Amino acid sequence: MSFPNRLVTKLTGHTGPVHCVTYSSLSGQYILTGSSDRLIHLYNPLKSSPTVPKSGLIQTYSAHGYEVLDIAVSEDNARFASVGGDRQVFLWDVGSARTVRRWGGHGGRVNAVGFGGEGEGGVIVSGSFDATVRIWDCKSSSMKPIQVLEQARDSVSSLHVVGHEIVTGSVDGRVRVYDLRMGMLFVDVIGQPITSVRQTRDGNAVLVSTLDSTIRLMDKGNGQLLQSYKGHTNTEYRIRSTLGMADSVVISGSEDGKLYAWDLLEGKVIGTMEAHEGKVASAVACNGVRKEWASAGVDGTVCVWGMPE
Amino acid sequence: MASKRSLATFEADLQAHQSPYVIHGTPLPPLDAETRDDGSYVPIWKQEVTDEQGRKRLHGAFTGGFSAGYFNTVGSKEGWTPSTFISSRANRKKDAAPAQQKPEDFMDEEDLAEAEEAMKLQTTESFGGLGSTADEKMQHDSFMDVFKTTGETMGVKLLKKMGWREGQGIGPKIRRKAQLGDDQDRDGGGDQQMHLFAPENSDMVSIIKKNDRKGLGFGGQGKLSEAPIAESSPQIGDHGREDDENSAGFRTLGKPSKINKKSSVRKGGFGVGILNDNGSDDEDPYQMGPQISYNRVIGGNKKNKKKLESGRSSANPLVNSRPVFVSKKAGTAKGNSTFRRCHDGRLPLDGFVLSSSSDPLSSILSQDGKYPPPNIPPDWKSSKKPSTLTSSPSSQPYQSAATVAAASKLSPKSRATLLGETQLPGKSVFDFLTPDARSRIASATNNQNLPPALGEASKSSSSSQPKTLQSLIPNLDQDTAMRALGRGTTGWMPYAEDPAKRARYRTFLEIRAGLRPEGTLPDRPPGTTNDDWVVEMNEFARAAQIFKPMTGTMATRFTSSSSAPKLATDNVKLDSTTDSDGKPQLLTKPTGKTKTPAEEAAAVGMYGPLTRSVENFYPTRLLCKRFNVQPPAHVQVDPGNAPPGSEAGGNSESSTVLSQKRLELVGKKDMDELRMTGGGMREFVQSSEVIEGNTGDEAGQSTVGAVVVDPDRNEALEQERPGEAVFKAIFGSDSEDD
C-alpha cells in the first residue's frame, strides 16, 4: 500500500509552536495554521517552496491575545472559527481578515472548536478547559450560547461535529457522543486522558488518542474496541491524530518528532516520517480530496506530505 | 408682537419646564412619560385619579369624583353590571346570596384599611409617662430620660414572673388578719380569720435635695413665685400648713410621711388664688363647703396668728413637746412607732438595735485627720507571704464577684444542694431517663455535663473534687476515632500545616481508639497550660467528628478531589505548565484516584457494555433547529419542567439505566410481590403503577391519567354512616352520655 510519505513542502512563518493545522473545506486548497505566536496563517501549499521562507503565505489573521489552539473552517470556506487562550471564540471573515463575531463565556482557555449545523447559519461548538462545551449561534446576534454541555468532569480537549452528533473527548478519560436527534448521550470510558477524537466518515467509529501512547478505534454503536494503534509516544502533550486516505490510514504525531501512519484495519505501522527537527509533532490534518496531508510541530513549521513521485 | 406659543413649542421644552433647577448635566426624564407634571390644563374627562399603587380608582366626591378612571362610568369599561342570580336543579347555587348587604361590600381596600384604623384602641399620650400629666412631663429633665427606663424594668418583670404584683411588698407571705380599713381596730376584730397576705410594700427611700437657703424644714412663705417649688416638693410643708403628727414643717430628710396627705385646710396670706394651686386635688380653691373660710380682712385674723406661732415654734424642738391631747388609738400607734424602724420601714432584725448615734471611735478618727493611721515603714514585709507554688485564690489578683460568679460552674441546682435547700419540684427530661439512656445522649452530644438521670446519684459532689488529668480528655467514640484514624492513613488528615499538631491529633485519636495503653495522656505542646491543652483536645475531638469518613448514602454522593488543597507551606513550582520548549503543557495527567468499575474495565481493555453508559440529553429546540433535526421526543415537552425520569421516551436502554441509577426505596421485586399478594386492592395497584410511571413507563402514565378526582364529591364524607355500635366502640364511655 502506498502512503504519501514524501515531504512536498515546508510552510514557515510562525515564530512559535504550531498547535493546529486545518485544510480548507471543499477542495482543501489552503491550509490554516494557529500558533503560540497568537497568529493564524493561511497558506497555499501549492505555491510554497521549502527553500523560500514564508512562501505560500497568503494571509495573516491577528486578533488573538493568547495562543491559538484550534481552528475550524466553515463549509463554504467564507468563514472560519478560531479559539485559544483568550477564552473566546472568534469567527473570522476569510477575505477581510477581520473577526465577525467574538463570543465570550468560557471560564478557561478553549481547546477545541468545530462548525456544526446546516447551511451558512450554523452553530459553532467549542470545548474548553472549564469542562464545558458551548454551542454558539452564528445566525442570531445573541452573545449567549444556545446550550452549554456540562457533562464533562475535566477539561474538554477535543471535539468533532459530524451531522447531528457532537463527539467530545475530555481529560477525564471519557468520549461523549451527543446525539441530538435521539436526545441521548453515550459515554464511553477510555480510562486515559483523551487528546484527540475524530469520527470516521461512515459514522460508525471514533478514533481516540489518549495519553498512554495509544490510539484506539472505538465502535460508536456499542463502545467496543475495534483496533488500537501503538508505536508513537504520547504521554504529556496534546497530540492530534486523524484519519486519512478515505479512512484507510490513521496518522498521528508523536512526541519524539516523528509522524506515524497505521493501517486502519490491521493496526500495523505503514509509515514513519522524521520531521520537525525531533520536536513534538502536535497536529496532523488530511486533505479530503488529494492524497496529501500536513503536520504541524513545535518547531514552528508545517510539513506537507504527498505521494512519492 | 408676542404671539401665542404653539402647543408644539411648548411641548418641546416640556422637560426644561419640569426641571427648572437643573443647571449642570442632563435632567432625569420625567417619572411617567405619559403624564405631564407642569400643571397645564387637562380637561376633566382626561384627568385620572389613581390610588397609591397607581391603579385607576373610583373615588368619592371629595377625592376625585366620578371623573376617576373611566369617565362617568363606575370605574369600569362596561359600566355597572347588576348582580345576577342563577340557580338550577342540576347546578344549585350553593351559598345563598348575602341576605343583607353590608357597608363593607361597597368599600375598597383603602376604606377597609381606614375602618381598621378606626377600630384600633390605644392610650393617649399622657398615659405614656410615669403617671403624670403632660405639663409635668414638660418639666422633666430630658437628660434624666436617658437613664430612666420606660415601661416595666427587667426586675419588675422577673418579680411578676415569681408571682409578685404591683403594690405588694417583696418577701414571704404573712399570715395575718385582713385589714379592712383604718376605722377597724386592729386589736378589736378577734373573730376574724387569719389569711395569707403578701407583705406590705415598703416605701421608697426618697432623699429630697435641699437647694434653697432656708432653714431646715422651713419652706418659706407661700408666694406666687414659689408655687413650682411647693409643687415639686410637696413634702416640705408650706407656711401655714398644720400637721398634728409631726412638728409642723419639720421632716426628717429621707423619711417622708404618708400622713401628710391628710392635710388640713390651707389658709394662706391673701387667700389662695388659682395661681397658688399646688396641684393637689383636695385643695380646690373654689370648692364650696365648710372647710373653706375666706379671708376677708387684710392683716390676718386670730387663727392666722396662731399659725405663725406654730411655724415659729417649729424652730425650737422643746416647744414641740408641749402636752397635747392624744387619743387612745393614736397613742397605741405612737407606742408602736417608738420602736425605731430601718429606713425601709421594717423593724430591725431580732437581737439587733438600731444605733442612736454613729460609732464614737470612728467619728473621732474621721475628724479632719486628727489621728491618722500609722505609716507603714518602707522596708516592712509581711510575714504572711502568699504562696506562689499553689494556685490559691489569694495569689490571684482581685476578681469581682461577678467574674467569679461567671466563672463558677455551679448550676442553680448544685448551688441549691450546697446551700441545703430543698429541691424544686420542676423536673427535667433527664429525670425520666434511665442512666443508660442518659449515657447514650452524653456520648452522642459529647457533653458530659448533663444532669443526672432517674435514680442516679447527683454528681455535683464529685464535680467539686479536683479532676484528674485523665478525666480532662474529651470523650470520643472509639468507633469515630478509629474511622478518623483510618481516614488519616488513606490520605488526608487535618492540620497538614502544623506537623507537630498533626502528631498530637494522631496521638489523641489513638488514645481514644484504644490503640495506646490505658492511662496514657495525649501529648501536650510545650509551654502550654492545662487549659490550652484541654482546649486543643476538644478541638481534636470535634475535628475527628467532622473529618471521619462519611458512611452510607452520603458517601456515595461525594468523590474525593484528585488534588489536595494548596497549602501556604507548599512550594509547588507554578511554571510547570510550560515545558522546556516554551510550549504550554495543555494536558496534565490526573493523579491517582479511586476508579469506578467502568474505569477498571477500561484499564484492562474490556471496552464494551462495561465502559458504556447512556444518559438522556436534552438539546434545546433552537439547537435542534440549527442542526435541522427534529427535537427528540422527550424534548417536545419543556425540558425545564419535566422531571428527568418522567419522559415518555421509548428507549428501553435509557430507562433501564435510569432505573438502575435511581435510589430504589422499595425494590421493584418487592413491589411486584406485594401486588401479587394484594390482588384485590385496586388502589394499591394504582399507586404502584404511579411509581412505575415515574420510572418512565408509559403504561403507568396512562393509569395515572385514568384516576379522576371529583372535587364535588368527598368519598369519605358521603359514605354510608356506620352503625351506632361502631361509634360506641370508638368513642366509648357510656358515662358521658348519661
In angstroms, the separation between the Cα of residue A164 and the nearest Cα of chain B is: 6
Q: Which residues from chain B sit within 8 angstroms of residue A230, using beta carbons? A: none
pLDDT in tens, B540-589: 888 777 766 555 455 556 555 555 444 444 443 433 444 444 444 444 44
Higher pLDDT, B330 or A44: A44
* Residue B328, pLDDT above cutoff 70: no
- pLDDT for res B172: 83
- pLDDT for res B59: 54
Contact between A242 and A208 (Cβ < 8 Å): no
A103: Cβ contacts below 8 Å, ≥ 6 apart: A88, A89, A91, A124, A126, A134, A136, A143, A145
Q: B159: part of which helix (H) or strand (E)?
A: helix B154-161
Cβ burial of A281 (10 Å; 0-12, 13-18, 19+) is buried
Choose, out of B559, B560, B587, B599, the residue to mutate when testing the contact with A (most A CBs < 10 Å): B587
The closest CB to that of B614, out of A181, A186, A195, belongs to A186
Whole-angstrom Cα distance, residue B535 to residue B474? 9
pLDDT in tens, B103-115: 877 777 778 888 8
Reported pTM = 0.41
The closest CB to that of B627, out of A155, A164, A195, belongs to A164
B516: Cβ contacts below 8 Å, ≥ 6 apart: B507, B510
By residue count, chain B amounts to 738
pLDDT band at B465 (very low <50, low <70, confident <90, very high): very low
Q: By C-alpha distance, which of B677, B653, B710, B709 is closest to B688?
A: B677
Q: Which residues from chain A sit within 8 angstroms of residue B586, using beta carbons? A: 69, 111, 157, 237-238
Which residues are A179's β-sheet partners? A165, A184
- pLDDT for res B245: 39
- pLDDT for res B415: 79
Please state whether B621 falls in left (phi above 0), alpha (psi between -120 and 50) or beta.
alpha
Choose, out of A141, A184, A210, A236, the residue to mutate when testing the contact with B (most B CBs < 10 Å): A184
Whole-angstrom Cα distance, residue A45 to residue B523? 75
Mean pLDDT value across residues B202-219: 76
Average model confidence (pLDDT) across chain A: 90
The DSSP secondary structure of B310-325, one letter per residue, reads: HHHHTT-HHHHTS---
pLDDT in tens, B450-461: 666 655 544 444
Contact between A219 and A197 (Cβ < 8 Å): no
* Residue A129, pLDDT above cutoff 90: yes
- pLDDT for res B480: 76
Within a 13 Å sphere around the CA of A264, how many CA atoms are in the beta-carbon half? 20
By residue count, chain A amounts to 309
Cell numbers placing B560: 474525593
Which residues are B174's β-sheet partners? B197
Give percent of chain B with pLDDT exceeding 90: 0
Indicate yes or no: CB of B649 within 8 angstroms of CB of A183: yes
Cell numbers placing B72: 362617568
pLDDT band at B179 (very low <50, low <70, confident <90, very high): confident
Indicate yes or no: CB of A223 within 8 angstroms of CB of B609: yes
- CA-based diameter of chain B, in Å? 133
Q: Which residues from chain B sit within 8 angstroms of residue A155, using beta carbons? A: 587
Contact between B486 and B549 (Cβ < 8 Å): yes
Which residues are A21's β-sheet partners? A33
Give percent of chain B with pLDDT exceeding 70: 39
Give percent of chain A with pLDDT exceeding 70: 99
pLDDT in tens, B113-140: 888 888 887 765 545 445 555 455 555 5
In angstroms, the Cα distances linking A248 to A200, A261, B81, B219 are: 10, 10, 83, 126
Contact between A18 and A296 (Cβ < 8 Å): yes
Q: Which residues from chain A sit within 8 angstroms of residue B592, using beta carbons? A: none
SS3 readout for B42-110: CCCCCCCCECCCCCECCCCHHHCHHHCCCCCCCCCCCCCCCCCCCCCCCCCCCCCCCCCCCHHHHCCHH
Of A171-175, A275-279, B478-482, least confident by mean pLDDT is B478-482
pLDDT band at B298 (very low <50, low <70, confident <90, very high): low
Q: Which residues from chain A sit within 8 angstroms of residue B620, using beta carbons? A: 146-147
pLDDT band at B321 (very low <50, low <70, confident <90, very high): very low
Q: A111: part of which helix (H) or strand (E)?
A: strand A110-116
Query: Which residue type occupies A64?
Result: H
* Residue B673, pLDDT above cutoff 60: no
* Residue B274, pLDDT above cutoff 80: no
Q: What strand order describes the sheet that includes A214-219?
A: A194-199, A205-210, A214-219, A225-230
Mean pLDDT value across residues A274-302: 89
- pLDDT for res B640: 45
Cell numbers placing B342: 430601718
Whole-angstrom Cα distance, residue B531 to residue B383? 33
DSSP, collapsed to helix, strand or coil, labels residue A198 as strand
- pLDDT for res B548: 63
Chain B residues 576-615 with a CB less than 8 Å from chain A: 579, 581-590, 596, 598-599, 601-603, 605, 607-609, 611-615
The closest CB to that of A173, out of B599, B608, B626, belongs to B599
- pLDDT for res B408: 73
Whole-angstrom Cα distance, residue B183 to residue B186? 9
Q: Which residues from chain B sit within 8 angstroms of residue A189, using beta carbons? A: 596, 598-599, 601-602, 611-613
- pLDDT for res B597: 82
DSSP B370: S
Contact between A183 and B650 (Cβ < 8 Å): no
Q: Select, from the ranges A251-255, B10-14, B245-249, B343-347, the one with the highest average predicted confidence (pLDDT).
A: A251-255
Within a 13 Å sphere around the CA of B557, how many CA atoms are in the beta-carbon half? 7
Nearest CA in chain B to A164: B627
Nearest CA in chain A to B629: A181
Cell numbers placing A101: 463575531
Higher pLDDT, B410 or A218: A218
Whole-angstrom Cα distance, residue B585 to residue A250? 24
- pLDDT for res B106: 77
- pLDDT for res A161: 92
DSSP, collapsed to helix, strand or coil, labels residue B508 as helix
* Residue B619, pLDDT above cutoff 80: yes
Q: What strand order describes the sheet that includes A123-128?
A: A110-116, A123-128, A133-137, A147-149
* Residue A169, pLDDT above cutoff 70: yes
Choose, out of B588, B617, B629, the residue to mutate when testing the contact with A (most A CBs < 10 Å): B617
Higher pLDDT, B586 or B36: B36
Instruction: For chains A and B, count residue pairs whose Cβ atoms are closer than 8 Å.
Output: 149
Chain B residues 637-666 with a CB less than 8 Å from chain A: 649, 651, 654
Supply the angle between the helices B668-677 and B682-694 in degrees, to the nearest 10. 160
Contact between A252 and A234 (Cβ < 8 Å): yes
Higher pLDDT, B70 or B349: B349
Whole-angstrom Cα distance, residue B523 to residue B542? 17
Name the one residue in this structure whose C-alpha cell is 516554551: B582
Higher pLDDT, B195 or B61: B195
Cell numbers placing A262: 497505521
Indicate yes or no: CB of A225 within 8 angstroms of CB of B583: no
Whole-angstrom Cα distance, residue A286 to residue A43? 15
pLDDT in tens, B80-89: 677 777 778 8
Cell numbers placing B488: 488519616
Average model confidence (pLDDT) across chain B: 63
Name the one residue in this structure whose C-alpha cell is 348587604: B101
Q: By C-alpha distance, which of B425, B519, B423 is closest to B471?
A: B519
Mean pLDDT value across residues A149-160: 92
B559 touching A (Cβ < 8 Å) = no
Cell numbers placing B433: 431517663
pLDDT in tens, A219-255: 988 888 999 999 999 998 999 999 988 889 999 999 9
In angstroms, the separation between the Cα of residue B664 and the nearest Cα of chain A is: 23
pLDDT band at B13 (very low <50, low <70, confident <90, very high): low
Q: Select, from the ranges A158-167, B124-133, B226-235, the one with the highest average predicted confidence (pLDDT).
A: A158-167
In angstroms, the Cα distances linking B731 to A299, B134, B725 are: 95, 63, 10
Mean pLDDT value across residues A142-163: 91
In angstroms, the separation between the Cα of residue B564 and the nearest Cα of chain A is: 16
In angstroms, the separation between the Cα of residue A279 and the nearest Cα of chain B is: 9
DSSP A1: -
Q: A303: part of which helix (H) or strand (E)?
A: strand A302-306
Contact between A129 and B585 (Cβ < 8 Å): no
The closest CB to that of A225, out of B599, B607, B626, belongs to B607
Whole-angstrom Cα distance, residue B394 to residue A69? 78
Choose, out of B559, B578, B626, B661, the residue to mutate when testing the contact with A (most A CBs < 10 Å): B626
Cβ burial of B732 (10 Å; 0-12, 13-18, 19+) is exposed
- pLDDT for res B692: 43
DSSP, collapsed to helix, strand or coil, labels residue B127 as helix
- pLDDT for res B652: 38
Q: What strand order describes the sheet that includes A241-244?
A: A241-244, A249-253, A258-263, A269-274
Name the one residue in this structure whose C-alpha cell is 468499575: B597
- pLDDT for res A175: 93
DSSP B470: H
Q: Which residues from chain A sit within 8 angstroms of residue B605, using beta carbons? A: 225
- pLDDT for res B492: 64
Mean pLDDT value across residues A212-217: 92
Higher pLDDT, B373 or B145: B373
Contact between B559 and B550 (Cβ < 8 Å): no
- Torsional sign, CA B252, B258, B259, B262: positive
Higher pLDDT, B618 or B478: B618
Name the one residue in this structure whose C-alpha cell is 484519519: A243
Cβ burial of B32 (10 Å; 0-12, 13-18, 19+) is exposed
- pLDDT for res B291: 54
Question: What value of ipTM does the predicted structure carry?
Answer: 0.89
Q: Select, from the ranges A29-43, B32-46, B402-416, the one with the highest average predicted confidence (pLDDT).
A: A29-43
pLDDT band at B337 (very low <50, low <70, confident <90, very high): very low
Q: Which domains does chain A have, with CATH numbers?
A: 6-306 (2.130.10.10)
A106: Cβ contacts below 8 Å, ≥ 6 apart: A87, A88, A89, A126, A128, A129, A130, A132, A134
